[in-house]
Structure 1
Amino acid sequence: MSEPRATRRVGIVGYGHLGQYLVRRLQDEGPRHGLELAFVWNRDLGKLAGMMPASLQLEDLDQADLIVEVSHPCVAQDHGESFLGSADFMVGSPTALADEATERRLRGAVERYGHTLYVPSGALWGGQDLQRMDQLGTLQALTVTMTKHPDSFRLEGRLVRGAGQGRRVLYEGPVRGLCPLAPNNVNTMAAACMAAPSLGFDGVKGCLIADPDLADWHLVEIEALGPGGFSVTSRRKNPAAQGAVTGAATFTAFWSSLLACRGHGGCVFLC
């Protein structure tokens, strides 16, 4: 007879739409998957008042076996090492890893503490296939194009005034340069960079497009090139309300990624 599965305690960092969704699913379905909500933390602690029992608000990182960040890249940049020092860590804002120092610190913490850094696929279709090509040395080029309604963007720096009238290419070039300009919008591109470390943030090409006619969808197109003229192109049409940063299908994708975080032992793992 097999032994009962140990309950895995999960802490959620961030209580926006995605954080609230994950909390609800953990409370409703967690026990059947061997999962229990350990704590919830939000940058604006007032947001938790009246919505979350005090017993579930963060007091001690050691309460969790897995910490899930769905807040902002700065959280992983400022606290990722501490998270990995006590638990596995799923970085829901992988644009944080476009900062070379952050990626280096978190990879170092993985080796030092033996916990796993999980990178959720999110809206990245075929991430495991890209990873396999990269490991075999057959991935020669990778381009990720994301198209959204202008109201869906949370832009910074020189892109702030870019999403005006008409369909416009806001950025085209290495993903590393785009992540600080659209940190909440291009996590799919960042996940692709982590799936293909031989190309990385400097080698994977990102293209960000604003299209005012795209009111109900987010589009993600991926083109991978290999030797001898090999190519694969995918097009993902993700239902999304106008102005929504995250498409509807990405919520369930994150839940699926969370279920896959089962302790893979001191590595960086695309889930």
Structure 2
Amino acid sequence: MAQTEPPRCRRVGILGYGRLGQFLAGQLLARGPPLGLALAFVWARDGGRLEGLPPPLRLPDLRLLPQTEVDLVVEVAHPCVAREHGEDILAHADFMALKVTMTKAPQSFRLEGRLREQLAVAGGGRTVLYEGPLRPLCPLAPNNVNTMAAAAVAAPRLGFDGVRACLVADPSVPDWHIVEVEVTGVGDGGRALSVTSTRRNPVARGAVTGDATRDAFWSSLMACHGHGGCVQLC
């Protein structure tokens, strides 16, 4: 009787080797094989950060990605990586992007342009850095608006112009990231159903990524079985 070959592990590539990238790479190496997952490669904009990895797992150039036989690519680097390389990656693998944003202590923000200047001169108390339509905020806080952007994609009738964003720097929460989502229905006479959800994610002081985010991302990775070349929001 012929023996059937064991199913092939899904090969996962990681773009970015910061706190979250290191966690996912470690999980794939330690726990991946029994779950049908294998680490294909890790790429980082600063290749020197990969020195601790075996050479076969280091991808020096994203142009070499087609040679890796990767099935799933996880971006945990910077939004510019998805913008510049996402289309090419989707030609060879499923692409899963990380979407998280929250109210943070000032030192946990990664801001651009006028928001960076505004944060630098903010006082010692709670400061609303931005409040308004989401679209103008995205290029000013690309590492801090991911949850908002995911909501805009998930609600196409609102989109990036209809979803409103509020970004707050609060030094009284140095080790928490707080996300509050409010959904309001169409009302009559100023009265409408409103549902508010609040999430508090513990975090190391000054870190951009919350502790629970790592495990949530690992769970999403395990659940992703291929989606026909589309982007998965998690």
TM-score of Structure 1 vs Structure 2, range by shorter chain: 0.7 to 0.9
- Report how far residue 237 of structure 1 moved: 0.7
Q: In 1, are the aligned partners of 2:94 and 2:231 still within 8 Å (CA)?
A: no
Shift of 1:88: 0.5
Q: Which residue of 2 aligns with 1:158?
A: 114
2:88 is matched with 82
Change (3 A) 1:82 1:267: closer
Letter in 1 for 2:212: A
Give the TM-score, by structure 2 length: 0.87
- Is 1:53 matched with 2:54? yes
| Native 8 Å contact 2:32 2:38 kept in 1 | yes
Q: Name structure 1 gaps, 5 residues minimum.
A: 93-119, 124-145
Name stretches of at least 5 consecutive residues in structure 2 with no aligned partner: none
Mark the CA change 1:72 to 1:270 in structure 2 (over 3 Å): closer, same or farther: closer
Q: Whose helix proportion is higher, 1 or 2?
A: 1
User: How far apart in 2 are the matches of 1:41 and 1:266?
Assistant: 20
Letter in 2 for 1:61: L
3-state SS of the aligned residue for 2:118?
A: coil
Mapped pair 1:182 → 2:182: no
- 1:125-162 alpha-carbon deviations (Å, 9 max, x no partner): xxxxxxxxxxxxxxxxxxxxx42111111111001122
Q: Partner letter of residue 197 of structure 1?
A: P
- Greater C-alpha Rg: 2
2:211 alignment counterpart: 248
What CA distance in whole angstroms lies between the structure 1 residues aligned with 2:193 and 2:204?
A: 36
How high is the TM-score relative to the length of structure 1? Answer: 0.76
Distance in structure 1 (CA, Å) of the matches to 2:73 and 2:204: 28
2:227 matches 1:264 = yes
Amino acid at match of 1:15: Y
Q: 1:267 offset after TM fit, Å?
A: 4.2
Match of residue 100 from structure 1: none
SS in 2 for 1:237: strand
**1:106 counterpart residue number:** none
Shifted more, 258-267 versus 5-14: the winner is 258-267
- Name the SS of the counterpart of 1:158 in structure 2: helix
Aligned: 1:71 with 2:72:
no
Change (3 A) 1:267 1:154: closer
Residues 22-171 of structure 1 aligned to structure 2 (within 5 Å): 22-49=24-51, 51-58=52-59, 60-62=64-66, 63=68, 64-92=70-98, 122=100, 146-163=102-119, 164-165=122-123, 166-171=125-130
Q: Give the secondary-structure state (helix, strand or coil) at the position aligned to 1:244.
A: coil
Identity of aligned residues (%): 63
1:164-243 aligned within 5 A: 164-165=122-123, 166-228=125-187, 229-243=192-206
Distance 1:75 1:61, change over 3 A: same
Q: Amino acid of the residue matched to residue 236 of structure 1?
A: R
CA distance in structure 1 between the partners assigned to 2:151 and 2:217 by the alignment? 15
Question: 1:4 offset after TM fit, Å?
Answer: 4.5
CA distance in 2: counterparts of 1:205 and 1:259, whole angstroms: 32
